[in-house]
Amino acid sequence: TDNFPVVNTTFSDDVYYLVMEEGTWQIGDMKVEAHVDTISTVGSDDNGWTGTTTTFDHTYSTVPIVLHQVMSNNDSAWITSFVSRSGDHTNPPSTSSMYLGLNAAEVSTSNAHAAEEIGWIALENVGTETVDGIELRTYRVSEFARGHQDGCYSYTHGGTYSTPMAFVTQNSMDGVDGSWATICSLSSTSVSMHYDEDNYHDSERSHTDEAAGMVVFDGSFD
């Protein structure tokens, strides 16, 4: 099957989550939108990285940061999500649209997967805003980080937060194997990240640099 093997390992970790009602919104000067789309287009190392062209509701002055996540389980085969520029998977979304697709990485051998719901949130990259008294920072991160096997790459976010909550999101698919952004360290002043791969077809988890977006909150909020 196209599933990861079962690994009997128990561990604990921190999970950050952001819940937003579907629609178009404004946080100060920052345009924000949230959607759920049913997507059947599968990208993988076998068939390349073509997604479903998806148009933003807002018109953005700069390329937005897109957080994305598979939100259904219609197929037992492993899957995650990816976004990139429509028609050019090696670059981030444009100011008006993006590719949105299922990311099978190296796990898929058939390039077939049941359609899944992908939830995504686009945030305009305008710097610093405040929501419910909590400071919010957005960053379009240059292609500086590489794969899990290559290290943990630190980015100073500009704030000094006692209880930071951070999200990193891969916004291109330059590496043919497929990958996803992962936080490997978080402090009051910096977020460290890399791009992880599966080791289903091979054991290496190195990866080329990718475009990324970063969203950092000074703590939790409602």
Q: Say which residue, 159 or 143, is predicted with more confidence.
A: 159
The arithmetic mean of pLDDT across residues 16-20, rounded, is 94
The arithmetic mean of pLDDT across residues 201-212, rounded, is 82
Greatest distance between any 2 Cα atoms in the chain? 48
The DSSP symbol for 122 reads E
Q: Say which residue, 36 or 10, is predicted with more confidence.
A: 36
Q: At residue 198, does pLDDT exceed 60?
A: yes
End-to-end CA distance of the chain: 41
What's the helix, strand, coil split of the chain in %, to 5?
0, 45, 55
Q: Say which residue, 3 or 153, is predicted with more confidence.
A: 153
In terms of DSSP H, where are the helices of 45-138? none
In terms of DSSP H, where are the helices of 140-201? none
Locate the DSSP E strands across 12-133. 23-27, 30-39, 42-44, 52-55, 65-70, 80-84, 97-105, 116-123, 128-131
Nearest 5°: phi and psi at 115? -60, 140
Instruction: Return the structure tokens found at 130.
Output: 């405040």
Q: Which of 42-51, 127-136, 158-167, 197-206 has the lowest mean pLDDT?
A: 197-206
Question: Tell me, what's the pLDDT at 6?
Answer: 56
pTM here is 0.90
Q: Predicted confidence band at 89 (pLDDT cuts at 50, 70, 90)?
A: very high
Q: Phi/psi class of residue 23: alpha, beta or left (left: φ > 0; alpha: ψ in -120 to 50)?
A: left
Amino acid identity at 86: S
Q: Predicted confidence band at 52 (pLDDT cuts at 50, 70, 90)?
A: very high
Question: For the chain, what percent of residues have pLDDT higher than 90?
Answer: 64
Question: Tell me, what's the pLDDT at 8?
Answer: 62
Question: Tell me, what's the pLDDT at 47?
Answer: 80
Q: What is the mean pLDDT of the chain?
A: 89
Q: Which of 4-13, 75-84, 126-135, 178-187 has the lowest mean pLDDT?
A: 4-13
Q: At residue 153, does pLDDT exceed 50?
A: yes
Q: At residue 1, does pLDDT exceed 50?
A: no
Question: Tell me, what's the pLDDT at 5?
Answer: 53
The arithmetic mean of pLDDT across residues 102-125, rounded, is 88
The arithmetic mean of pLDDT across residues 173-185, rounded, is 90
The arithmetic mean of pLDDT across residues 93-104, rounded, is 96
Encode pLDDT of 53-62 as tens digits: 999 999 999 9
